Copies of this chain bind each other. A is one copy, B any other.
Amino acid sequence: MLDSWNDGPTKAAIIAFAEGAAKDVAPEDRVAVFDNDGTLWCEKPAYIQLDFLVRRMAEQVGADPSLADRQPYMAAAAGDLGWFGDAVTKHYLGDDSGIKLLAAGILSAYSGLTVEEHAERVKAFFAAGEHPSLKRPYTACGYAPMAELLRYLEGHGFTNYIASGGGRDFMRPVTYQMYGIPPERVIGSSVGLDFADGHLRTTATPEFLDDGPVKPVRIWDRTGRRPIFAAGNSNGDIEMLQFTAAGTGPSMSLVVRHDDAEREFDYTVGAEKALQIAGTHGWAVASMREDWIRIFD
Q: Which residues of B contact A56 (CB under 8 A)?
A: none
Number of interface residues of A (CB under 8 A): 34
Contact among B28, B169, B172, B216 for A182, CB-based, below 8 A: B28
Contact among B195, B221, B223, B239 for A213, CB-based, below 8 A: B195
- What 0/1 readout, one digit per residue, does chain A (172-184) give for beta carbons within 8 Å of chain B? 1000000000111
A203 to chain B, nearest CB (A): 10
State whether A184 and B217 are in contact (beta carbons under 8 Å apart), knowing that A198-B243, A243-B200 are contacts in the complex: no
Query: Does any Cβ of B come within 8 Å of A16's Cβ?
Result: no
A217 touches B200 (CB 8 A): yes
A115 touches B200 (CB 8 A): no
A248 to chain B, nearest CB (A): 8
Query: Does any Cβ of B come within 8 Å of A193's Cβ?
Result: yes
Residues of A whose CB lies within 8 Å of any CB of B are 28, 115-116, 168-169, 172, 182-184, 186, 190, 192-195, 197-200, 213, 216-217, 220-226, 239, 242-243, 245-246
Closest 8 CB pairs of A and B: A198-B246, A183-B224, A195-B213, A193-B217, A184-B223, A172-B224, A198-B242, A195-B216
